[in-house]
Structure 1
Amino acid sequence: MESVKKDAESRMKKAVENLQKDFSKLRTGRASTALVEDLPVDYYGTPTPMNQLASISVPDPRTLTIQPWDKGAFGNIEKAIQNSDLGLNPVNDGKIIRINIPQLTEERRKELVKLAKKYTEDAKVAIRNIRRDANDALKKLEKDKEISEDDLHRAQDEIQKLTDSNVAQAEDVLAAKEKEIMEL
């Protein structure tokens, strides 16, 4: 019974962590290394995450700089940024690639909020699926006479509390991201 609860708890935590990771890739008005660090770059025929090819830094809130370790990767890094759906234009001066992060339009902000809400909904569905799995496992334990009916109800209540707290946490993460997106 305890292992079912612990498993559900850790999986729900991971769902919320994944939501935060997805949010870090959403472009707000601020520069963040998370925008490009996982972007796949064609490096000698192999798609390689950008953070394995270059150092990425944020010198100021509206600028990203990317310094490839291999001079031969400049063109491919530029191409990867231009082909991504981030809508960013890299500027290459031969030593470093600079990306200026433009202000977001009102329309784009609303699209990003919609996308954030979709990510949150997906996370909540995942959390509820974990609850269902945990409850099924508990019912099986009760059916196999490993736990009593009272234990089953107690454990299901605890799983429900876990679910509620993780869904609330996902909502809090969304509220913070929404505020960040709509901030001018």
Structure 2
Amino acid sequence: MDLDASMRKSLEATQRTFNTIRTGRANPSLLDKITIEYYGTETPLRSVASLSTPDSQTIQIQPFDTAAMAAIEKAISMSDLGLTPNNDGRLIRINIPPLTAERRKEFCKLAARYAEDGKVALRNIRRDAIDKIKKQEKDGELSEDQSRDEQEKVQKLTDRYIVELEKSLADKEADILKV
């Protein structure tokens, strides 16, 4: 059944979204959502530069084309990350300041919102699967008992993925709150 694969993909997408939330440490995945205007096309930052973390408080960006420096700097400044890029002509460095307690709480709320979006996606997958099962029952392909058993399997699978998602949320919150 492709239901398991769909739910796995939804969970992984939510976890990737969690990675874009800042914690106290530098992490190149913070910049995953940033796109720049590169020769008239919106291009992901990873496609035009290499990202690294020389230490726990710095992200280093080395563009493949120095002509993109200004666009990269502008995109980072305009993002909602609240980071200031420093350009030395070859590299762009971003210092990650320690988070305040208030900012940590905001990021926890953001993570909870992303988790809720992930749960909604899982529930939508569940609804579609149950609708499909009910249609099969209506068309006579499944008996009432088989239909009920299949629906229970779908619900158990959904519950398992929601528990996994909540565990990921708890891990991310712990990561954000760790000073």
**TM-score after normalising by structure 2:** 0.97
Runs of 4 or more, structure 1, over 3 Å off, are: none
Aligned residue in 1 for 2:15: 20
Equivalent of 1:179 in 150, 174, 178: 174
Counterpart for residue 157 of structure 2:
162
Structure 2 match to 1:74 = 69
Which of 107, 112, 132 in structure 1 is aligned with 2:107? Answer: 112
CA contact (8 A) 2:20 2:32 kept: no
The separation in 2 between residues aligned to 1:7 and 1:113, in whole angstroms, is 32
**What is the one-letter code of the residue matched to 1:142?**
E
User: How many angstroms apart in 2 are the aligned matches of 1:104 and 1:133?
Assistant: 41
The letter for the 1-side match of 2:72 is: I
**Aligned-pair identity (%):** 53
Distance 1:72 1:148 in 2: 65
Q: Which runs of 5+ in 1 are unaligned?
A: 1-5
Whichever residue aligns with residue 6 of structure 2, its letter is R
User: Once the 2 structures are TM-superposed, how far is the Cα of residue 8 of structure 1 from its aligned partner?
Assistant: 2.0
Match of 1:153 among 148, 156, 159: 148
- Structure 1 residues 111-169: Cα deviation after superposition (integer angstroms, max 9, x where no partner): 11011111111111111111111111001101111111111111111111101100000
- Map of 1:65 onto structure 2: 60
Q: Counterpart of 2:117 in structure 1: which amino acid? A: D
TM score, norm. by length of structure 1: 0.94
Partner of 2:121: 126
Which residue identity does 2:36 align to in structure 1?
V
Equivalent AA in structure 2 for residue 17 of structure 1: E
Residues matched between the structures, number: 179
CA distance in 2, matches of 1:13, 1:100: 34
Distance (Å, rounded) in 1 between the aligned partners of 2:47 and 2:33: 9
- Tell me whether 1:101 sits opposite 2:93 in the alignment: no
**How far has the Cα of 1:7 moved from its partner?**
2.5
Q: What amino acid maps onto 2:15 in structure 1?
A: Q
Contact 2:36–2:45 (CA under 8 A) maintained in structure 1: yes
Q: Which whole-Å deviations, capped at 9, do the CAs of 1:76-104 have from their partners, x for residues lacking one?
A: 11111101111111111111111110001
- Compute the RMSD of aligned alpha carbons: 1.0
